[in-house]
Amino acid sequence: MVQLPIYLDYNSTTPCDPRVVEAMLPYFTKHFGNAASRTHAFGWEGEEAVEYAREQVAQLIGAEPKEIVFSSGATEAANLALKGVFEAYAAKGNHIITVVTEHKAVLDSCHHIERLGGEITWLPVDNEGLISLPELEAAIRPTTMLIAVMYANNEIGVIQPIKAISDIARKHGVLFFTDATQAVGKVPIDVNKDGIDLLALSAHKFYGPKGIGALYVRRRDPRVRLVAQMDGGGHERGMRSGTLNVPGIVGMGKAAELCRQEMTADARHTAELRDRLETGLLAIPGAHINGSTTHRLPHTTNISFPDIDANALLAALGKDIALSSGSACTSASMEPSYVLKALGVDDKVAHASLRLGLGRWTTAEEIDYAIVRISETVALLQARNVQYKNV
């Protein structure tokens, strides 16, 4: 029997893996030292734990441990990458290229940079959510310092051609930053093979704790320079001051290790269940998948249903199934998803769309239950709308 409620909002956050919690617990009590306290054993224990976790995170993305800068999450990491590069490379130029479907952490940071005198090119996407590589290359100027393109979109799961983007950036001597928050731990990432110079990630998206993330900063070929956005004690080699969240960092490291070991199995599991879910929901007349079905994450789907309002559907399902209509960071807004609008989806269809995110503990029984409940509820809402129109 299916235990309710069912959680299908893994893009918003993932439950902390019990093995991660187990690794963290001693660092709240027995090993509570400040990692910056270099004069006694309590501090040494904290520092040792942090450096081990730094290795674990680095291994997950093919980086060197010294290239990992811990932060409070991917939002802070993205802010540090964009604003830090803008200040550090002011002598080179003031131009950044990004994409209209980026996460708000990137979009709003770019708007902030515009207010400081920076120039931003906002690349469009096609109806599958992919950028045009020729348009990207054509947008590069002598003053371009950074290209910022999300690895995988948080609403539709579409994966951009990262290696091709980095090749263009390298060809023109431009740095490349990617917000890989949704991709890390879900698909293989190698910052060297992919040619990535800066990468943001967050532990709570891959079964780690909330409130901890990191920024990968390349140290050679090229060595990336940043101006710190958080001033204080010079922690994290001067790039991010503030007492380190040792339990959170330990948890992030353990989560990264588990993902590196189990990623293939997790991806196969979620992809099979996603396909099962899509097959069931696409049986609803007029249902449509938003975004590419070829270049995408294994655990994500975004589906539109005709003649309904997604908020009404969510309200009807809320006690039984946890879902969202888009990014958790913007779900309070009544505006249609800017990501779906960028794909050319009209407001009515955008308002009728659900994002479904599957994870490590999603079961086939839960998927089958979700198919039935969503299908029944969509049919009920459609019937009500038809009845209302006929009044």
The structure tokens listed for 128 are 């599958």
Output the CA torsion 27→33→36→40 (10° steps): -140
Q: Which of 16, 110, 259, 329 is catalytic?
A: 329
Q: What is the 3-state secondary structure (H, E, C) of the chain?
A: CCCCCEECECCCCCCCCHHHHHHHHHHCCCCCCCCCCCCCHHHHHHHHHHHHHHHHHHHHHCCCHHHEEEECCHHHHHHHHHHHHHHHCCCCCCEEEEECCCCHHHHHHHHHHHHCCCEEEEECCCCCCCCCHHHHHHHCCCCEEEEECCCECCCCCEECCHHHHHHHHHHCCCEEEEECCCCCCCCCCCCCCCCCCEEEEEHHHCCCCCCCEEEEECCCCCCCCCCCCCCCCCCHHHCCCCCCCHHHHHHHHHHHHHHHHHHHHHHHHHHHHHHHHHHHHCCCCCCEECCCCCCECCCEEEEECCCCCHHHHHHHHCCCEECECCCCCCCCCCCCCHHHHHCCCCHHHHCCEEEEECCCCCCHHHHHHHHHHHHHHHHHHHHHHHHHHHC
Cα 106 to Cα 147: distance, rounded to the nearest angstrom: 11
Written as one letter, the residue type at 375 is S
Active-site residue, 329 included: yes
- Tell me the CB-side half-sphere exposure of residue 244, using CA atoms within 13 A: 32
Catalytic residues: 329
